[in-house]
Amino acid sequence: MTSFLPPAERIWWNEPVGRQELIWIGIALTWCLIMFAMMPIWHVYGKQNLSTEAYQTTPAAYGARVQEMIDKYTVREEAGIPVVHPPAGSDVYMLGRLWQWWPILELEKDKSYRFHLSSMDYQHGFSLQPVNINLQVVPGYEMVINMTPDQAGEYGVVCNEYCGIGHHTMVGKIYVEDK
């Protein structure tokens, strides 16, 4: 029997399935079930991105909240960008805009913060280096992460979503202090 026979002479579902084919179907099905089970397991036990909340907002409303935090908690300036040291347990705001992350944050080690992110103009990618925290930041939405920095140091924030001609200069900083 060949595959060139017209359908009237051959009904494919009545053809017997070979032993080797059944083994491969079984292996593929087993692997699919393993991978399907790994998704929720990895979400709970893996060290991947944090679970987030997202809320609709406007760039003007979000910008006002960021400015309010800056006015209240600025400790100094670094290259014309305010460095903000909010108290532990507070809401911390950072915004992306062409082509910078603003402001620079100073956080305390082992203290929890509610971290808010949004974009003022285009879609940006928030990548916290050297840890593996990656989020897409979209205008009109506010991403919220509950985070507790567990290592002191200087962390770089990089935009990993192409946002225009100055994309390669879109960096920011977060300092974590051991107090």
Model-wide pTM > 0.85: no
Reported CATH class of domain 52-177: mainly beta
* Angle formed at CA 81 by CA 70 and CA 117, multiple of 5 degrees: 55
CB 174 within 8 A of CB 107: yes
3-class secondary structure per residue, 120-145: CCCCEEEEEECCCEEEEECECEEEEE
- Give pLDDT tens digits along the chain (179 positions): 556 666 666 677 777 888 999 999 999 999 999 999 998 888 777 766 567 789 999 999 999 999 999 999 999 999 899 999 999 999 999 999 988 999 999 999 999 999 999 999 999 999 998 887 888 999 999 999 998 999 999 999 999 999 989 999 999 999 999 87
